[in-house]
C-alpha cells in the first residue's frame, strides 16, 4: 500500500545492509536492522489499540530506538509528537491533553509523575530510557520484524510540533507527509547529499532541525549518521575525520572554535557545515572560515515550515544572511499592517508559501486563519529584508521570540509565572546577546510593595519550566518603559541591558 513518506524515507532501504547509524560506543546499525526495530514498535502500537491518525506523544532521551519510534509512527499511519525531555510534568500535561494523544512514552524515571497525566487524558503510558530500554522494548521483543505499511496520502498528517505563542498557550503545528517529504527532497538536491555522505548528528530529535531536516535528508539520500546522544565537542572533533557534513546551531560552532583540537586538518574530510535555528554571528562566521578555510552555510526555517531559505551550496555564502528562497518556496516581505509587498531593501514581515508550509494549528481555527492566509502564504512574524542580491536578512523577530542555543523561548510563558510572585508588580523578559548561546533570556522585575525574593522566584521557575527557558538573570527595576499606547518597549530594555552577560 502507498505511504509516500515511509516509502521514500524508509521503505526503499528494506533489506539493506548499508550502515545507517554509527553510535559513539562502537555499535553500527544497518538500515535493515533499524527498520526491523521500527516494525516491531509499529506492531506494539497496534496492540495498544492505536489506529491511523492517532497521536503518539514521546518524551524520551535521544537514542536509535527513540528514532525508530518516528519510523514506526510513519509506517503505522500515526501522528508523531516529539517532546523536549526538559519539559516539566505540567508542560507535558498540556501537550498530551491538547493533542488528544492516545499513547505517551516517557523515561522510566517519570512513570510515577506521568501516570496521572496519562490517566486523565485516557492515554496509555509506556517507557523508554536513553539506551532504548523500557516497557516498550519489552513489548516489542515479542513482535515480528516486518509490518504491513498502512496506506497514507501526502495530505495525511505525519507529525505535530508544538510552538508557543505570545499568549503563553502552545500551538500544535500540523505537518503532513507532503510537507515533510517535499522539504527533504528539496534539501537533498540543494545541499547535494548523496549516499556516501556521513552526517555528524549531535542535535536533539524532538524538533524540526534534528529530526525533519537532518534525519530526513540522510534517509532520503541513503547516507549514514554518526548518532551522538547529545552535544559533546570532544566527540565532534574526534569523529569529524569520519564524517562529510554537520548540521548544528551556532553554539556548536562557537564551542568548536574554543576547542584546541579543532583545526583545518580535522575538517579536511568535511564538505559541508550547516547552521540554523538561531542567528549566526558574523564574527563566528568569519572566525570559522579563517580557522578551517571552509564557509558555514546558514539557512532559515521554522517549526511550521521546515526550511524556507538557504545560502547556496555553490556560490557566495554571505555572513549575516540566510540566503535565498529554496526552490519551490515563495518568500515576500510585507507591511505588517496592510499586507502590502515591500520593495527590496525595506524591512517588513516575512511571509512564505510552498509545499513545505504546514496545515494549520491543531484545534485553533482562529489562530490558523490569522497566520495562514487563504492564498497559502504563512505570516512568519519574523522581520527581515531582501537585499539587492536577493539574499534574505533576518533583522528581528515579531512576538519577541528568544532563540537561545537553538531553542525557542517565548517571554509571555515566563512572564505569566513571574507576575504571580510576591513582590513582583509586573515583569518583562527580553533577549540579551550571549557569547555561547547566541542570546539568552533576562527578566526585569518591577518591585511591588515588598522586595522580590529572587532565590525563591528562581526555585519556582526551575520547578515549572524547562531549564533552558529559565532567565539567566533576574533584575529588579522601579518601572518598565512604555510607549504612548502603554505597551512595554522591549527594544528599549534590550538596548539598556545588552551588556548583561559581558565580563
CB 431 within 8 A of CB 494: yes
Note the pLDDT of residue 486: 57
Q: Is 13 helix (H, G, I), strand (E, B) or coil?
A: helix
Per-residue confidence band for 280, with pLDDT thresholds at 50, 70 and 90? confident
Note the pLDDT of residue 484: 47
Mean pLDDT score, 341-358? 95
Distance, in Å, from the CA atom of 466 to the CA atom of 446, rounded to the nearest integer, reads 24
Assess whether pLDDT exceeds 90 at residue 50: yes
Assess whether pLDDT exceeds 80 at residue 110: yes
Assess whether pLDDT exceeds 80 at residue 161: yes
Note the pLDDT of residue 354: 98
Per-residue confidence band for 490, with pLDDT thresholds at 50, 70 and 90? confident
Mean pLDDT score, 230-243? 95
Instruction: State in Å, rounded, how far the first CA of the chain is from the last one.
Output: 61
Count of other CB atoms within 10 angstroms of residue 30: 17
Regarding predicted confidence, which is higher, 172 or 320? 172
Note the pLDDT of residue 396: 67
Assess whether pLDDT exceeds 80 at residue 475: yes
- Cα 359 off chain centre by: 18
Note the pLDDT of residue 278: 77
Helix (H) or strand (E) holding 104: strand 103-106
CB 409 within 8 A of CB 401: yes
Distance, in Å, from the CA atom of 118 to the CA atom of 96, rounded to the nearest integer, reads 8
Q: Look-up: residue for cell 538557504?
A: 310
Helix (H) or strand (E) holding 37: helix 31-47
Q: Compute the C-alpha angle 259/263/269, nearest 5°.
A: 125
Assess whether pLDDT exceeds 90 at residue 453: yes
What is the chain's mean pLDDT, rounded? 93
Regarding predicted confidence, which is higher, 311 or 489? 311
Q: Are strands 378-386 and 348-353 parallel, antiparallel or unpaired?
A: antiparallel
Note the pLDDT of residue 425: 86
pLDDT digits (tens, 9 = 90+) for 177-233: 999 999 999 999 999 999 999 999 999 999 899 999 999 999 999 999 999 999 999
Per-residue confidence band for 485, with pLDDT thresholds at 50, 70 and 90? very low
Note the pLDDT of residue 282: 80
Assess whether pLDDT exceeds 50 at residue 167: no
HEC readout, 406-463: CEEECHHHHHHHHCCCCCEEEEEEEEEEECCCEEEEEEEEEECCCCCCHHHHHHHHHH
- Could you give the percent of the chain with pLDDT greater than 70? 97
Q: Is 214 helix (H, G, I), strand (E, B) or coil?
A: helix
Q: Domains in the chain, please, with CATH?
A: 4-152 (3.40.50.12780), 402-496 (3.30.300.30)
Assess whether pLDDT exceeds 70 at residue 287: yes
pLDDT digits (tens, 9 = 90+) for 63-79: 999 999 999 999 999 99
Taking alpha carbons only, the member of 43, 48, 37 closest to residue 10 is 37
The partner residues of 493 in beta bridges, in order of sequence, read none
Ranges assigned E (strand) in 263-366 = 272-275, 297-302, 306-310, 324-325, 330-334, 348-353
Report the range out of 55-59, 85-89, 314-318, 488-492 with the highest average pLDDT: 55-59
Assess whether pLDDT exceeds 70 at residue 503: no
Amino acid at each position: 500500500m502507498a505511504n509516500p513518506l515511509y516509502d521514500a524515507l524508509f521503505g526503499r532501504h528494506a533489506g539493506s545492509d548499508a550502515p545507517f547509524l554509527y553510535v559513539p560506543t562502537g555499535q553500527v546499525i544497518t538500515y535493515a536492522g533499524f527498520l526491523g526495530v521500527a516494525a516491531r514498535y509499529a506492531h506494539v502500537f497496534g496492540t495498544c489499540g492505536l489506529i491511523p491518525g492517532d497521536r503518539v506523544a514521546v518524551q524520551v532521551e535521544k537514542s536509535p530506538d527513540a528514532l525508530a519510534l518516528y519510523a514506526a509512527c510513519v509506517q503505522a499511519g500515526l501522528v508523531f509528537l516529539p517532546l523536549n525531555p526538559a519539559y516539566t510534568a505540567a508542560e507535558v500535561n498540556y501537550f498530551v491533553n491538547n493533542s488528544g494523544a492516545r499513547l505517551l512514552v516517557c523515561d522510566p524515571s517519570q512513570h510515577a509523575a506521568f501516570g496521572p497525566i496519562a490517566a486523565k487524558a485516557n492515554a496509555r503510558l509506556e517507557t523508554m530510557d536513553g539506551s532504548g530500554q523500557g516497557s516498550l522494548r519489552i513489548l516489542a521483543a515479542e513482535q515480528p520484524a516486518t509490518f504491513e505499511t498502512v496506506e497514507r496520502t501526502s495530505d495525511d498528517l505525519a507529525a505535530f510540533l508544538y510552538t508557543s505563542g505570545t499568549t503563553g498557550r502552545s500551538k500544535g503545528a500540523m505537518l503532513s507527509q507532503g510537507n515533510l517529504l517535499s522539504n527533504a527532497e528539496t534539501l537533498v538536491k540543494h545541499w547535494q547529499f548523496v549516499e556516501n555522505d556521513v552526517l555528524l548528528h549531535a542535535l536533539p530529535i524532538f524538533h524540526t532541525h534534528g529530526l525533519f531536516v537532518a534525519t530526513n535528508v540522510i534517509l532520503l539520500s541513503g547516507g549514514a549518521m554518526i548518532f551522538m546522544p547529545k552535544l559533546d565537542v570532544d566527540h565532534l572533533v574526534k569523529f569529524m575525520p569520519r564524517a562529510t557534513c554537520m548540521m548544528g546551531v551556532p553554539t556548536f560552532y562557537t564551542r568548536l572554535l574554543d576547542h584546541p583540537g579543532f583545526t583545518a586538518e580535522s575538517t579536511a574530510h568535511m564538505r559541508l557545515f550547516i547552521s540554523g535555528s538561531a542567528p549566526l554571528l558574523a564574527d563566528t562566521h568569519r572566525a570559522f572560515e579563517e580557522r578551517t578555510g571552509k564557509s558555514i552555510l546558514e539557512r532559515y526555517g521554522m517549526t511550521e515550515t521546515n526550511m524556507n531559505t538557504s545560502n547556496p551550496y555553490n556560490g557566495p555564502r554571505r555572513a549575516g544572511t540566510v540566503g535565498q528562497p529554496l526552490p519551490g518556496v515563495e518568500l515576500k516581505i510585507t507591511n505588517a499592517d496592510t499586507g502590502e509587498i515591500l520593495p527590496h531593501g525595506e524591512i517588513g514581515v516575512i511571509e512564505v508559501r510552498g509545499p513545505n508550509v504546514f496545515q494549520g494549528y491543531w484545534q485553533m481555527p482562529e489562530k490558523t486563519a490569522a497566520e495562514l492566509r487563504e492564498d497559502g502564504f504563512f505570516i512568519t512574524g519574523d522581520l527581515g529584508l531582501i537585499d539587492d542580491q536577493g539574499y534574505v536578512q533576518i533583522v528581528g523577530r515579531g512576538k519577541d521570540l528568544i532563540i537561545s542555543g537553538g531553542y525557542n523561548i517565548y517571554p509571555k510563558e515566563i512572564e505569566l509565572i513571574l507576575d504571580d510572585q510576591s513582590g513582583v508588580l509586573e515583569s518583562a523578559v527580553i533577549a540579551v546577546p550571549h557569547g555561547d548561546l547566541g542570546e539568552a533570556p533576562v527578566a526585569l522585575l518591577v518591585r511591588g510593595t515588598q522586595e522580590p525574593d529572587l532565590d525563591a522566584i528562581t526555585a519556582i521557575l526551575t520547578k515549572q519550566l524547562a531549564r533552558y527557558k529559565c532567565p539567566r538573570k533576574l533584575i529588579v527595576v522601579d518601572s518598565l518603559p512604555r510607549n504612548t499606547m502603554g505597551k512595554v518597549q522591549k527594544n528599549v530594555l534590550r538596548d539598556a541591558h545588552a551588556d548583561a552577560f559581558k565580563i
